[in-house]
Amino acid sequence: MALIQSGTNVVAAAPKLLAHQAVLSLNAGDTAWMIVATALVLFMTLPGLALFYGGMVRKKNLLSTLAQSVAVTVIATVLWILIGYSLAFGVGGGNADSVINKIVGGFDIALLNGVKLDTAYKAAPNLPEYLWIAYQMTFAIITPALIAGSIVERMKFSAFCLFIALWSVLVYAPVCHWVWGGGFLGAMGVLDFAGGAVVHVNSGVAGLVACLVLGKRKGFGRDNMAPHNLGYTMIGASMLLFGWIGFNAGSEWAADSRASVAMLNTIVATMTGAIGWIVPEWWERKQPTLLGMVSGMIAGLVAITPAAGFVTPGGAMLIGLITGPVCYVASTYIKNIFKYDDSLDAFGVHAVGGFTGALLTAVFANTAINPAGAGASVLKQFIGLVVVIGWSAILTYLILMVCKFTTGLRVTEEEEIEGLDQSQHGETLHG
């Protein structure tokens, strides 16, 4: 009788699974690593990106730039729990093979309904689902935060908050689902190990659209808009590199050999990206700049993101070396030719670097590193990138129009001259 009762208790304890779930098969080592990786990726936004961007603006806009990174972290976190996770990783239509699910996840796990201590996401049964949610949430934070680099020093804070909220739900969550959550791009064979398309192309294109809609900063091309503190920028870039280890190596979702090569690839591509940027800059300007070196590092990091778990360190070295000068050209010559005010080169580094890295992923994919690389195709990568670019551009524009006719988009000319620290937040750097 006791044996029967014991068996009944085991059955009763088994979790009732939703369509996106699996029974947790906990791996303590993988779980410990992913807790660390989650903290590392969160560290990328606060304080990494905040300081990186903050150092590049004028002093009167430092605090407003830091505030944008804080606001994104707050807004994206809350929305991820409310609905973002469900749209990105839920099963649309209740059936993984449904047409709806190829486009967007469902509402079945809004507010984390049905998530328990003993459930896992089906693609990562070795990790508690709560940890999976937290890790993916850090990606949902950093992605819209990158957009701020294109629109700093002129966007109303109220408009920025509304824009981030709508963009997180309508742009980021669906694109994440398409590639990583069971959607059509992943099924098509588009390779994106840690976010070349989902994170960098997506946010970089949104940044370009936003800076075009907002218009140029007052005095752009005439006034001195040089970074006020490149020390902050260098510290921020170093923090980004540190956190990016969790971003790329963590995207293996396990503490294993592929995570190790992804970490090594990340570091290698960062350094060759710096070389690729600084060589043409040094040649042209006759002096190597600190800003150029750290910009090249970020370009290398962006480019290796989609490829980190698919290529050898030799491939990573070439990816960084190729992408560095490409991003340098995009952030100098192309921007100068078309005269758009992409304030901190979010488009030139993230969209262009992500696009280049995603294509090169197919070129350098090695099945000895990852068997999934056997299906690598430049054409598939290109099609996937075009889809992401189109969705991001169109939806970003529509969201900006909503903001324009509700909160308004841009501060007044007087407020911009005064600086957004004071006009938007009533604060200054020195009290």
pTM of the model: 0.96
Domain limits of the chain? Answer: 17-412
Task: Give domain 17-412's CATH superfamily.
Answer: Ammonium transporter AmtB like domains (1.10.3430.10)
Distance of CA 251 to the CA centre of its chain: 13
- Express each pLDDT in 54-63 by its tens digit: 999 999 999 9
- Express each pLDDT in 32-86 by its tens digit: 999 999 999 999 999 999 999 999 999 999 999 999 999 999 999 999 999 999 9
- Express each pLDDT in 359-387 by its tens digit: 999 999 999 999 999 999 999 999 999 99
Residue 1: predicted pLDDT: 43
Residue 431: pLDDT band (50, 70, 90) is low
- Express each pLDDT in 235-248 by its tens digit: 999 999 999 999 99
Residue 376 corresponds to which tokens in the numbers above? 């690598």
